[in-house]
Structure 1
Amino acid sequence: MARVATIVPLSPLDPNTAPRAHADGLSSHQRELEDLMSTFSRMREEACTSFHPAAHEYLLRALWTAAFGAADADAFAPSTERWKDLGFQSEEAAKDFRGAGVMGLHHLLAVVNSGRVPLAAAARAGFPLAAASINATAVLQAYFGVNLRVASPLRRSARRRCPERTLHELLLRGGLQPLQELHTELAVHLWRVWSERPRDLMGFPAVLDEACADLHEVLQEATAAAAAWAEATDAGARRAEEVGAAGAAA
């Protein structure tokens, strides 16, 4: 079974760049909690921002150029059959963002710009990249609880609950950027699962369920590793303080 290759956002925190709360101990717990709540609020605000043509058409234009090339930039149109070539369900691309909002557009643009899903090969294989990416955004929004208005596109039996520790680790790393990185990994993994056993659109729900189950498993493993690393680091810091205090007393 193909699995998500890497989950960069949940790798162990560098002690030189980690939030000071890890180094300062319990005295900074309140500040850390306030920072995490602020980060979560920003994520919710971004996740609940709807697409508005006047405000966000520049992102749609950027997606068009990234997908179809600078030579075709002047052919941009908000409504055209060409959007379906990228895997949109409608010829009016904006309609597909009604659930995931402008975050879905940001995420899709990041996937296309990454070059990790070959657009021509995806089109030949019938992989609906845009729809897959937007569904991945909706899954993550529901998983992390940042958009209560969006319904998870996963079948009920495939839905997973996000452990508090996983959300905590995501927030410690800034929230929005690691969420986008997780989305890219999930979108790429969706393409990988699809390309292993090409299928038609009727088979997409099964692909989404499988890929998201893989992501949940890897996130749990990464979170456990990060937690163990943090506990070891804290224990080492306490031991160093004890040794220092003993030396000073002597």
Structure 2
Amino acid sequence: MFGSIWQYVYTNFLRYWLKWFIRQVTGKCELQRICSDYTPGASRTTRAENSLQASKNKVLRGALKTSRDHVEQCVDQIMKAKNIKPQKDPLFKGSLHICLLQITGYSSLYTSVEELRKEVFSSENPEHEAMLLKLWGLLMPEVKLECRITKQWGDIGFQGDDPKTDFRGMGLLGLINLVFFSENYTAEARQVLSHANHPKLGYSYAIVGINLTEMAYSLLKCGALKPHFYNTVQGTPELKHFHQLYCYLAYEFDQFWVAEQPESIMLFNQYREKFHDKVKTHLQDPDVSLTLTVGSY
């Protein structure tokens, strides 16, 4: 209870006067100090985001909801509201501009990912079908698919004769991630598939891939991926950056699974959560970068 009272007093009274005092001493507002004291990345952008969220100024709070096309205008409005002169702080505008591109870009990225997740795979859609067949060709280039509905799909880790039923949870997003990994990291994807088809340590490649898409989606939704994207994208995070993150998870999960040597695929959920915890621990590091460093991408 004491902690709650202290938080209320600090947020509503002490923080304002503390910021006022420091500005009188340094001649800089909180956002200026953040942009000048921290190098580009999660440490700077996260602090800028927290500062904007805690501000009582409508212009500053509204910056969090601005669109990509209006970021520059928004920066100008903030500088005017805080009376920041470009002549006295020439680097501030560029630094805050990058922070806002990252902050607002994260929100727009989630919207784009959610749209793909909600898009249902349709066997009547030629583009969807072409993508599915492309996945087979990338992973099994020397094996011809006998027909569209066949038990062969099990060779790349689908559950039934028609893969469309496996995309229900993650929609088109699950397929796009699988294709992106196979197309941009072909050697690694085939290596992972070979491990997945191991007679003793094997697992369902495609099903696990869709499961890892759900993991990536959940981490994005709750904001846990902000440090990663703030460190790795000096601007607006886009869909390709989300797909690259999936590639990291797909490759690293396979390395993790092989190293752990589970006794049975029946223990998948247990090891999946162990891997999930490992990823979340990495994301606690302000310098985190979940980037796959192998391959040709």
Short-chain TM bin = 0.5 to 0.7
User: Is 1:130 aligned to residue 206 of structure 2?
Assistant: yes
CA contact (8 A) 1:51 1:102 kept: yes
Using the alignment, how far apart are the partners of 2:177 and 2:205 within structure 1? 12
Q: CA deviation at 1:35?
A: 4.8
Aligned residue identity for 2:243: Q
Q: How does 1:169-188 map to 2 (within 5 A)?
A: 169=230, 172-188=235-251
State the partner residue of 2:120. 50
Q: Which runs of 5+ in 2 are unaligned?
A: 1-39, 43-70, 76-91, 289-297
Using the alignment, how far apart are the partners of 2:215 and 2:118 within structure 1? 14
What fraction of aligned residue pairs are identical, expressed as a percent?
A: 21
Instruction: Decide whether aligned partners of structure 1 residues 86 and 220 sit closer, same or farther in structure 2, where only a CA change above 3 A counts.
Output: same
- Structure with higher Rg: it is 2
Aligned residue identity for 2:179: L
Deviations along 1:190-213, whole A, 9 cap, x unmatched? 211221214322011112111111
Q: How does 1:76-95 map to 2 (within 5 A)?
A: 76-95=146-165
User: Is 1:64 aligned to residue 140 of structure 2?
Assistant: no
User: Is 1:121 aligned to residue 192 of structure 2?
Assistant: no
Using the alignment, how far apart are the partners of 1:34 and 1:194 within structure 2? 35
- Aligned pairs, number: 193
Q: CA deviation at 1:54?
A: 2.5
Using the alignment, how far apart are the partners of 2:226 and 2:100 within structure 1? 17
Q: CA deviation at 1:136?
A: 0.4
Bigger relative contact order (CA 8 A; separation at least 6): 1
Instruction: Decide whether aligned partners of structure 1 residues 123 and 166 sit closer, same or farther in structure 2, where only a CA change above 3 A counts.
Output: same
Q: CA deviation at 1:66?
A: 1.1
CA contact (8 A) 1:127 1:191 kept: no
Q: How does 1:36-47 map to 2 (within 5 A)?
A: 36-47=106-117
Using the alignment, how far apart are the partners of 2:238 and 2:94 within structure 1? 22
CA contact (8 A) 2:118 2:171 kept: yes
Using the alignment, how far apart are the partners of 1:106 and 1:31 within structure 2? 25
Q: Which runs of 5+ in 1 are unaligned?
A: 1-10, 14-18, 146-160, 227-250
> Please, which moves more after superposition, 50-59 or 167-176?
167-176
Q: CA deviation at 1:31?
A: 7.1
Using the alignment, how far apart are the partners of 1:61 and 1:27 within structure 2? 42
Deviations along 1:56-115, whole A, 9 cap, x unmatched? 00011001111211x434x25332111112111222111111111111011112233322
Using the alignment, how far apart are the partners of 1:131 and 1:175 within structure 2? 25
Aligned residue identity for 2:283: L
Using the alignment, how far apart are the partners of 2:223 and 2:107 within structure 1? 17
Instruction: Decide whether aligned partners of structure 1 residues 132 and 25 sit closer, same or farther in structure 2, where only a CA change above 3 A counts.
Output: same
Instruction: Decide whether aligned partners of structure 1 residues 24 and 134 sit closer, same or farther in structure 2, where only a CA change above 3 A counts.
Output: same
Aligned residue identity for 1:61: L
Q: Provide the secondary structure at the position in 1 that maps to 2:197.
A: helix
Q: How does 1:122-201 map to 2 (within 5 A)?
A: 122-124=196-198, 125-145=201-221, 162-163=223-224, 165-166=226-227, 169=230, 172-196=235-259, 197-201=261-265
Instruction: Decide whether aligned partners of structure 1 residues 180 and 168 sit closer, same or farther in structure 2, where only a CA change above 3 A counts.
Output: closer
Instruction: Decide whether aligned partners of structure 1 residues 43 and 25 sit closer, same or farther in structure 2, where only a CA change above 3 A counts.
Output: same
Q: CA deviation at 1:166?
A: 3.3
Instruction: Decide whether aligned partners of structure 1 residues 67 and 76 sit closer, same or farther in structure 2, where only a CA change above 3 A counts.
Output: farther
Using the alignment, how far apart are the partners of 2:280 and 2:109 within structure 1? 22
User: Is 1:203 aligned to residue 267 of structure 2?
Assistant: yes
TM-score (norm: length of structure 1):
0.65
Instruction: Decide whether aligned partners of structure 1 residues 89 and 23 sit closer, same or farther in structure 2, where only a CA change above 3 A counts.
Output: farther
Instruction: Decide whether aligned partners of structure 1 residues 183 and 76 sit closer, same or farther in structure 2, where only a CA change above 3 A counts.
Output: farther
Equivalent in 100, 104, 109 of residue 170 of structure 2: 100
TM-score (norm: length of structure 2):
0.56
